[in-house]
């Protein structure tokens, strides 16, 4: 089932209350509140094409895929000369958008040379709703004039875009008009003010006529039951688009911008490219227009501990909560339960080392209530079960002292235990010894996906382990030196159920160590409780391997042969990247099946690796290009 969203009216009330109170200092609205970043008002070398409008042009979040607006598809058509920021708001009219302060927010981000594509009308037509309705020859033009004047005052270039036509056909299969006098009002205003015009009403009606009643179903949000997991009951929607339709309408907009020379030549280089929009488009975890809640932790802030901030979040909240953590050390066993999704932990220091979340329980540490020991999974300094979790720019550590506790039988000490599906950790350091990082899932055979982007993980024995699916992209993986000349541990101990195709992918990583040459194994197969269906899957590809990696890097565990696991390498380099009979290499023809996308997409098409790329319409560049 698609995630429940707040009503348009409740969102309007929230935005109205916060209008003008948020300083936009980041990229998307969520990251503007989530992190410190360069001031976006500093001069940029790439113009931004801002899109404001209603649901037909807006960007949608991952839980609503494949629904998309044409502004969300527009980046797929651009060349390198400009970017797109889609701040359109589903349900908005020219009036409600401006009244909520959203126009002011967009104008605050605009710089000379930027474009403002203005496309309202669907909800202006709802004159029975006083918060949205406008009259075509008076208030509609008056509100649109505010957008034009505001963009010009910022040195920007306003462009009026008439509303895209709905899917309306008569009994003879003839496409029908559905917007009454509103498109002509836009044309008249464009002529009166000298504002460039994209007549999307005309071009979309012509396109729908060409496609016909049945062909247009592949453009609009017509989905069979079970076709997409976000819409298990299916959908029959004559107004909103799926990915293919959003791209088709974006092409109409781009062509007219180009043909009328509203933008310089070369802006849209990919109009006719054979793009698969469902795979190429980016759906963010939240819409750009959504405002996250923010909580501040640290000296002099509202919360002294991170756990106190987490505890204050209402259970079942669908709004992202950004917990901004001031530099310092936070010694606490932190838990984010499954009923608190969409939590972001964001370090406010200048580097990940500035914020340290740390505790020192081990598997053999007795619980204070006398009910036994913590066990491996319970020893975690930080445990995350709430889905759609984000962590950025901080360190998570378990500093249990193995040397000082040699009398303890079980000394596994987890830094992070995570089961939260669709989690992203970026520039996070994970520190420990044995069992540093437990990438887990809610149960055997239940998928959970994690994206580690430019992270650092260190440990010695099985320090990346569990049954989850995890991609480590451009990460540094450090094996600690245990002082042995022959065995300094194992990087991985995967335990994926055979029903889970993808386990761990190390892509463009660096595996480093100060340990002796040929003394560290890439992994061994962990079969919890002897489960024969728990068969590790690990691929190390396009990575640099230090000399510490053994020439026979995979080894047996608890009587289970590594040769029966799913272990492979592909296209690695460095002194530890030998090719021997004991090092299975992924066959070249299969390399395209084991990519970051394939590991992460699951059934819902999750693609966090596209965030911040040219496909991302939720980002405003916040620093000048080099």
Instruction: Quote the distance between the C-alpha of residue 180 and its chain's center.
Output: 39
Q: Please report the sign of the dihedral spanned by the C-alpha atoms of residue 51, residue 55, residue 61, residue 65.
A: negative
Instruction: Quote the distance between the C-alpha of residue 534 and its chain's center.
Output: 29
Determine whether 122 is an active site residue. no
Report the first-to-last Cα separation within the chain, whole angstroms.
Answer: 44
For residue 86, give the nearest of 119, 37, 124, 121 by alpha carbon: 119
Contact of 494 with 462, CB cutoff 8 Å: no
Query: How many other CB atoms sit within 10 Å of the CB of residue 344?
Result: 25
Residue 394 to residue 409: CA distance in whole angstroms = 31
| Residue 520 DSSP code | B
Out of 236, 350, 561, 564, pick the active-site residue: 236
Out of 122, 179, 228, 240, pick the active-site residue: 240
Determine whether 96 is an active site residue. no
3-state secondary structure 154-173: CCCEEEEECCCCCCCECCCC
Out of 55, 63, 93, 363, pick the active-site residue: 55
| Residue 291, φ and ψ in degrees, nearest 5 | -100, 115
Residue 410 to residue 569: CA distance in whole angstroms = 32
Residue 534 to residue 527: CA distance in whole angstroms = 5
* Sheet of strand 416-418: strand arrangement: 334-336, 382-384, 416-418, 437-439, 461-466, 490-494, 521-523
Q: Please report the sign of the dihedral spanned by the C-alpha atoms of residue 106, residue 108, residue 111, residue 113.
A: positive
Residue 69 to residue 72: CA distance in whole angstroms = 5
Determine whether 55 is an active site residue. yes
Residue 520 to residue 491: CA distance in whole angstroms = 8
For residue 66, cis peptide bond before it (omega within 30 degrees of 0): yes
What residues are annotated to the active site? 55, 236, 240
């Amino acid at each position: 089932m698609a995630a429940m969203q707040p009503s348009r009216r409740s969102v309007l009330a929230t935005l109205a209350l916060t209008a003008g109170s948020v300083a936009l200092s980041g990229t998307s609205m969520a990251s503007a509140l989530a992190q410190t970043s360069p001031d976006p008002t500093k001069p940029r070398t790439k113009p931004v094409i801002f899109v404001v409008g209603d649901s037909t042009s807006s960007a949608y979040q991952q839980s609503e895929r494949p629904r998309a607006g044409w502004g969300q598809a527009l980046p797929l058509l651009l060349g390198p000369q400009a970017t797109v920021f889609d701040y359109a708001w589903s349900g908005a009219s020219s009036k409600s958008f401006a009244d909520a302060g959203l126009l002011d927010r967009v104008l605050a981000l605009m710089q000379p040379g930027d474009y403002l594509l203005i496309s309202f009308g669907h909800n202006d037509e709802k004159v029975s709703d006083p918060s949205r309705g406008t009259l075509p020859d008076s208030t509609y033009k008056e509100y649109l004039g505010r957008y034009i004047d505001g963009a010009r005052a910022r040195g920007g270039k306003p462009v009026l875009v008439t509303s895209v036509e709905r899917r309306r056909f008569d009994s003879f299969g003839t496409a029908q008009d559905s917007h009454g006098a509103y498109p002509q009002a836009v044309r008249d205003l464009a002529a009166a003010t000298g504002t460039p015009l994209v007549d999307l009403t005309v071009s979309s009606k012509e396109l729908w006529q060409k496609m016909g009643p049945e062909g247009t179903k592949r453009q609009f949000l017509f989905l069979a039951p079970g076709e997409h997991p976000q819409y298990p009951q299916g959908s029959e929607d004559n107004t909103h688009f799926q990915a293919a339709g959003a791209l088709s309408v974006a092409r109409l907009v781009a062509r007219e911008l180009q043909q009328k020379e509203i933008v310089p030549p070369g802006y849209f280089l990919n109009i006719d490219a054979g793009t698969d929009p469902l795979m190429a488009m980016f759906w963010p975890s939240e819409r750009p227009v959504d405002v996250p809640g923010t909580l501040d932790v640290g000296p002099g802030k509202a919360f002294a501990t991170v756990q106190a901030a987490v505890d204050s979040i209402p259970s079942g909240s669908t709004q992202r909560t950004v917990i901004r953590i001031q530099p310092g050390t936070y010694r606490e066993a932190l838990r984010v339960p499954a009923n608190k999704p969409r939590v972001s932990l964001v370090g406010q220091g200048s580097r990940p080392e500035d914020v340290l979340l740390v505790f020192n329980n081990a598997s053999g540490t007795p619980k204070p209530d006398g009910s036994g020991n913590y066990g491996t999974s319970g020893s975690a300094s930080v445990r995350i079960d709430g889905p759609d979790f984000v962590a950025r720019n901080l360190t998570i550590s378990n500093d249990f002292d193995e040397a000082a506790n040699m009398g303890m039988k079980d000394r596994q000490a987890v830094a992070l235990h995570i089961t939260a599906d669709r989690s992203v950790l970026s520039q996070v350091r994970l520190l420990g010894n044995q069992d540093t990082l437990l990438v887990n899932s809610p149960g055997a055979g239940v998928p959970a996906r994690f994206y580690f982007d430019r992270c650092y993980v260190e440990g010695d024995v099985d320090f990346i382990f569990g049954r989850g699916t995890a991609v480590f992209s451009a990460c540094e993986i450090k094996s600690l030196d245990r002082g042995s000349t022959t065995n300094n541990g194992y990087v991985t101990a995967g335990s994926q159920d055979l029903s889970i195709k993808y386990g761990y992918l190390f892509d463009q990583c660096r595996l480093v160590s100060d340990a002796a040459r040929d003394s560290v194994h890439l992994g061994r197969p962990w079969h919890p409780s002897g489960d024969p269906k728990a068969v590790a899957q690990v691929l190390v590809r396009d990575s640099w391997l230090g000399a510490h990696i053994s020439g026979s890097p995979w080894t047996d565990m608890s009587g289970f042969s590594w040769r029966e696991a799913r272990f492979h390498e592909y296209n690695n380099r460095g002194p530890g990247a030998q090719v021997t009979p004991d090092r299975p290499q992924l066959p070249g023809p299969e390399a395209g099946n084991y990519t970051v996308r394939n590991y992460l997409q699951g059934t819902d098409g999750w693609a966090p690796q596209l965030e911040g790329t040219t496909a991302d319409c939720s980002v405003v560049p916040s620093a000048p290009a080099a």
